[in-house]
Structure 1
Amino acid sequence: AYGARLLGRTADIFLPKGTNALKQGMIRAYGGRVHVTGADIDYAREAAIRHAEENGLYFVNDGISLDIMEGAATMAVEIARRLDDIDYLVIPVGGGNLTAGCAAVMAEAQPGCKTVGVQPEGAPVIVKSFHEGRPLEVPGESFADGLVSRVTVPFAFEVFCRHAADGWLCAETPIKAAVHSLAECAHLLAEPSGAAGLAAAWERRALLKGKRVVLPITGGNCSMAQLRTALATPPLFTLAEAVG
């Protein structure tokens, strides 16, 4: 919606039922037309394709567009330029486009860096597909609603498998706790999807001890209901522990 507005156009954005109201509101604030349909992002994508075909519109599919992947991957370009000798880049995975693009960049910029994709245990399709070496279809549901997908998108999955080092799953409670810790310790209001990387890394802190780990916070559309749930969950760590 923001990109379309910069170009003087209006974007039709298709979202699944259950997408948090704040995210919908942000899209509308940037001038986008919101269409809420389907049980998950994959059904919403199918509806968007039909809408584009019926109305002569250009459909932007972030899972098969190299341009979109390269744009997302500029995050890794900035990270690689600012930080040397990164051991792990841990990124939350929805459709896989961002993580795949970043993994490809880091493979060239810092070959010693392991790019890892993270998904919640309740919505594990990309991570499960990665470990089985083939695209799967796995229904999902999670507090981290921005990471829920049902199918693997072939292009993004292919690039992810070629360049990512691993895929990790994370339980629901640590994701809530990560939102709490980021709010309390870093004064960052992260949506659950954006905090999943921290949650997964915390669960593997013994593995990562002494390593240089980069954890991008990939979203800030945290609804008040999600924030209340997160703050009612004990944090991963307190401020005293974070600076101690």
Structure 2
Amino acid sequence: MDKQQLIDCHERIKPFIHNTPVLTSRLLNEISDANLYFKCENFQRMGAFKMRGAANAIMQLTHEQKKNGVVTHSSGNFAQALSLSAKSLGVKAYIVMPSSAPQVKKEAVKGYGGILVECEPNLAARELASDQIVQQHGATFIHPSNDDHVILGQGTACKELLELQPDLDYVVAPVGGGGLIAGTALSAHYFGNHCKTIGGEPFEVDDAYRSLHSGKIETNSSTNTIADGLKTQLGDRNFPIIQKHVQEIVRVTEEEIIAAMRLIWERLKIVCEPSSAVAFAAVIKRKEKLRDKKVGIIISGGNVDISHLPF
């Protein structure tokens, strides 16, 4: 994926996304000993960066494919992103969700016009249900993170950040399925001025950290983290980009995630989900390395159940 593809992708999706604000905080700069620039994708349509990749992926389909609709399996933000993108573009979206997914997320999918299909809460069931929809309706499957068009779309958040702050030394993003960090790393490489990319990941789901060290895609035996958006694993499309362009992945504890989330809520006065706070937690953890540097942080989303806050 090259620079021109990122530029074309951004132009394509601009009518369907928000160019989200970048916030700063003197106090958070003092806490981290760095100059921080928070790219607030919690203000994106449907509340997360995933709107970008979903819109781009649908727009790249042929007329015939659009007529038959799209399908994905997701328990969270991509389910909502694909539903809203499809609605905006006049395309049917079938969304396979585990029966255990929060009711609020199921309602959001339906509210955005997605056709909800529930399944047992395991990957095999999700994949089977998706395959059946592809067979039955001729719908095109769009993976939430392991898809070139999705990766390019997610990279546009960092592109916008660098258009505003072209002299960033580092950009930090959370790592789940790998779509955001891969897209971010591509944008940092093509549009930054020697800007390096760092990932943040919970210790409880440190498959990307281990994958970088072993050279092959690792899995997690358990997913016991508050950062519910980061429980998925890397794929064969995004992993090579991460290997090539991500400098390091910093692991953080559950306590560090909660502390970082609280600081963002209290000091930036914005709602962010735990997965978003992982990137800021990683910056605090790497304080020595990032001292006096200009650091961009992708606040990936704000879809949090406020009746179950960790503080």
Q: Normalization by structure 1: what TM-score? A: 0.84
- Tell me, in whole angstroms, the C-alpha distance in 1 between the residues paired with 2:201 and 2:122: 16
Cα deviation for residue 18 of structure 1 reads: 4.5
2:208 equivalent among 116, 121, 126: 126
* Correspondence for 1:8 among 83, 90, 93: 90
The structure 2 residue matched to 1:51, chosen from 133, 145, 165, is 133
> Aligned residue for 2:244?
162
Contact 1:62 1:69 in 2 (8 A): no
Are the equivalent residues in 1 in contact too, given 2:200–2:281 (CA < 8 A)?
Answer: no
The residue type equivalent to 1:155 in the other structure is R
1:11-34 Cα offsets, whole Å, 9 max, x none, are 122334544443333222211133
- Give yes or no for contact 2:151–2:183 (8 Å, CA) kept in 1: yes
Alignment of 1:8-157 (within 5 A): 8-16=90-98, 18-39=100-121, 44-45=126-127, 47-139=129-221, 140-149=223-232, 151-157=233-239
Take 1:175 and 1:2, find their aligned partners in 2: how far apart are those partners?
A: 29
SS across alignment from 1:143? coil
Per-residue deviation, 1:46: 5.3
Letter in 2 for 1:201: V
Per the TM alignment, residue 86 of structure 1 is displaced from its structure 2 partner at its CA by 0.9
Per-residue CA deviations over 1:74-101 (Å, capped at 9, x if unaligned) read 1121111110221111101111011101
CA distance in 2, matches of 1:72, 1:42: 26
Q: Which has the larger displacement, 168-177 or 38-47? A: 38-47
Asked if the contact 1:70/1:101 (under 8 Å) is kept, the reply is yes
1:83 aligned partner, one-letter code = Q
The Cα of 1:121 is off from its aligned counterpart by: 1.0
Structure 1: gaps (5+ residues) = 232-244
Residues 20 and 172 (structure 1), Cα distance of their counterparts in 2 relative to 1, 3 Å cut: farther
Question: When the two structures are aligned, how many residues end up with a matched partner?
Answer: 228
Give the counterpart letter for 1:131 in structure 2: H
Cα distance in 2 for partners of 1:80, 1:26 equals 31
CA distance, structure 1, for counterparts of residue 300 and residue 136 of structure 2: 33
Query: Which residue is equivalent to 2:263?
Result: 181
CA pair 223-107 structure 1, distance change in 2 beyond 3 A: same
**Cα gap change, 1:7 to 1:134, in 2 (>3 Å):** same
Take 1:113 and 1:42, find their aligned partners in 2: how far apart are those partners?
39
Q: Which has the higher contact order (CA 8 A, sep 6+)?
A: 2
Displacement of 1:36: 4.2
Structure 1 residue 108: deviation in Å?
Answer: 1.7
Q: 1:50 to 1:200 in 2, by over 3 A?
A: farther
Is residue 175–residue 196 contact of structure 1 (8 Å, CA) maintained in 2? yes
* 2:167–2:193 CA contact under 8 A, matched in 1: no
Aligned to 2:298: 216
Whichever residue aligns with residue 59 of structure 1, its letter is: F
Task: Report which of the two has the higher share of strand.
Answer: 2
Q: Is the 8 A contact 2:84 2:113 kept in 1?
A: yes
- Alpha-carbon spacing, 1:106–1:40, altered in 2? closer, same or farther (3 Å): farther
- Please state how far the C-alpha of 1:39 moved relative to its aligned partner: 4.0
Stretches of structure 2 lacking an aligned partner (at least 5 in a row): 1-82
Q: Percent identity?
A: 28
CA distance in 2, matches of 1:89, 1:203: 15
Contact 1:93–1:147 (CA under 8 A) maintained in structure 2: yes
Name the Cα RMSD after superposition. 2.1
